[in-house]
A and B are shown apart, each in its own frame.
Chain A
Amino acid sequence: MNSKTKKAYLLNAVAVFLVYIVFLTLIRFKVLSNYFGGVIILTCIMMIMALSLNIVAGFLGEMALGHAAFMAIGAYLSGFTSIAIMNAFPTAPALLVLIFSSLVGGVAAGIAGIAIGTPSLRLRGDYLGIVTIGFGEIVRIFFINFDPLGGAQGLKGIPRLTNLSYAYWITVLVVFLIFTLGVSKYGRAIMSIREDEIASEASGIPTTRVKVMAFTISSFFAGIGGSLYAHYQGYIDPDKFQFMFSIEMFVIVVLGGLGSLTGSILSAIVLTVLPELLRGFAQYRLLIYSLALVIMMIFRPQGMLGRTEFSLYHLIYVLTNKREPYKKGSIDGGKSS
């Protein structure tokens, strides 16, 4: 790690911390309402969902339209786990319970990822899209009919462990991990399969295994997102995880730019906060929202950031020196958050 990357990491860490302090003080002194705190938590969850989907949709370049299903698996399994723990040890520390049950949810979603990825990743493009849609519906209908986990009424009584701080820092951790994956050897292997499968195999990359690995990591983080969601809402409604929800996440990723992690973050913020801000114009909300999408697709079809990454270090460098130091990095070379 050279000094420039070190500086960039430090700068990002400081920025992440400052943003946290600012939001926390604003909410403490009631400048922002608790309701807005909730919006921030939801934004964090959508960020995790979009980033994890970006591993499959952006890095691997495959159409995965069943992301909500992995979120559902994570939500249900983690919710069930934390209910059980809280019943057995009512005084257990909240953070530990949240982390443990999130891991349970994540691992369960990851296993589901292996199960669905191994047979279906032989398919490509629209065919894989259709299989994942089918899988998503199967999972939702399973939970609607599975009474031990609440059935159609949903799972109630999940301890509401997710608060602003936990959601924020878990999101920061997930962002960091996925960025690390993006610049690692295996992250590059995932991207090289997107670029050219035959050439990847000729370079010795076990393409089937790497694809399933990408799919599994993606579903693992989706499970974590699901867990945060379950512990924020306090109950899970199986109808939340409909096909449209998967599409919503896909739209976030595409709008941010396929393969751009900072793009996904930005886009998750915009597409979660915007509908909330437009609540006042309830009638026109959907209209404005869709119009924004259409305009975006016409003028910037590659997404807000395309394949490039936003870098705070780079921005400050440019602002202070008033010139371009070098070409903006893509995720393949980008190291910023």
Chain B
Amino acid sequence: MLKVKDLNVYYGKIHAIKGIDFDVKNGEIVTLIGANGAGKTTTLKTISGILKAEKGVISFDGENITRIKPHLIPDFGVAHVPEGRQVFAQMSVYENLIMGAFIRKDKREIANDIEMVYTYFPRLKERHKQLAGTLSGGEQQMLAIGRALMTKPKLLLLDEPSMGLAPILVDEIFSMIQTINGAGTTILLVEQNANKALRIAHRGYVLETGVIKLTGTSEELMSNDEVRSAYLGG
């Protein structure tokens, strides 16, 4: 579904991504794990067009999306949940979700999908009139995911959904990611919390200073000694 080939990204003179290859197949949860500054967020931002690739090809469902502008990426069925729960703070929960459906015109289906997001995250329904900025961290993360789902994506790019959340909320969000995946959305998950990410993912890639160090199924990675000592704390 998503194929990344020889991707190179620069921040000015800094070579942040040094020729990485990976792919995500239909229906999978694939995770990119790695330490701070490994290039995980950079990779996601390049896929969604916010950063420009110097070299390399990103293709989605056979179409080359390497140089597509960020606001046109949702049209291809790729939705990006940015790092740090970037919700529209001065708008209500409901309006945030409506904004997610900006590119769509089918009013009835939008209403259905809002109901669907509410069934995934009942807490959002309770707070649907509340301003998003007044939600707790976990609820904002739910809202950011819900807003991305409103574009009806085939592939969901999740950037550090566990960042700054209480462990119990992390579990809740991760189990919801599995539910969303079970309903047919493919997921590319970027995480520092390698333990949690590998538990729900089918496959994983280990990113280190802009190159892919290791790849394999989640079980393989979890039993790999290098991964265990570097990322799993054991």
Chain A residues at the B interface, C-beta cutoff of 8 Å: 185, 188-189, 191-192, 194-196, 198-207, 259, 307, 326-327, 330, 332-333
Contacts and interface: CB of A to CB of B under 8 A. Distances in A.
Contacts, number: 85
A195 B144 CA distance: 13
Contacts of A200: 71, 88, 99
B230 interface: no
A205 B102 contact: yes
Contact of A188 (B72, B86, B91, B147): B91
A205 B88 contact: no
B46 to A, nearest CB: 13
B71 A196 contact: no
A273 B144 CA distance: 46
Contact of B74 (A188, A204, A259): A204
A234 to B, nearest CB: 43
Given A326-B129, A327-B129, 13 more contacts: A191-B91, A192-B91, A199-B144, A202-B79, A202-B80, A203-B102, A203-B103, A203-B147, A203-B150, A203-B151, A205-B102, A259-B90, A332-B91
Interface in B140-157: 144, 147-148, 150-151
Contacts of B131: 330
Interface of B: 48-50, 69-75, 79-82, 86-92, 95, 98-100, 102-103, 129, 131, 144, 147-148, 150-151
B141 to A, nearest CB: 13
Contact of B92 (A199, A201, A205, A333): A333
A330 B69 CA distance: 32
B83 to A, nearest CB: 9
A260 to B, nearest CB: 11
B91 A203 contact: no
A188 B103 contact: no
Nearest to A206: B71
Given A202-B80, A327-B129, A332-B95, A195 B90 contact: yes
B90 A330 contact: yes
B50 A204 contact: no
Top-5 shortest CB links A-B: A195-B88, A204-B103, A204-B74, A199-B86, A201-B70
A199 B87 contact: yes
21 contacts: A185-B102, A191-B90, A192-B99, A195-B87, A196-B86, A196-B88, A196-B89, A199-B147, A200-B71, A202-B73, A202-B148, A203-B151, A204-B73, A204-B74, A204-B75, A205-B99, A206-B71, A207-B71, A330-B90, A333-B92, A333-B129
A111 B131 CA distance: 36
A204 B99 CA distance: 9
Contacts of B129: 326-327, 333
A199 B102 CA distance: 12
B70 A199 contact: no
Given A189-B102, A207-B71, A330-B131, A202 B82 contact: yes
Nearest to A333: B92
B164 to A, nearest CB: 17
B72 A195 contact: no
A91 B41 CA distance: 68
A198 B50 contact: yes
A265 B71 CA distance: 35
B78 to A, nearest CB: 9
B95 A203 contact: no
B82 A204 contact: no
B41 to A, nearest CB: 11
B187 to A, nearest CB: 15
Nearest to B50: A198
Interface centre among A189, A205, A259 (most CB of B within 10 A): A205
B74 A202 contact: yes
B139 to A, nearest CB: 16
Contacts of A204: 71-75, 102-103, 151
A202 B87 CA distance: 11
A332 B92 contact: yes
A332 B96 CA distance: 11
A203 B92 CA distance: 16
Contacts of B98: 188
Contacts of B91: 188, 191-192, 195, 332
A332 B90 contact: yes
Nearest to A199: B86
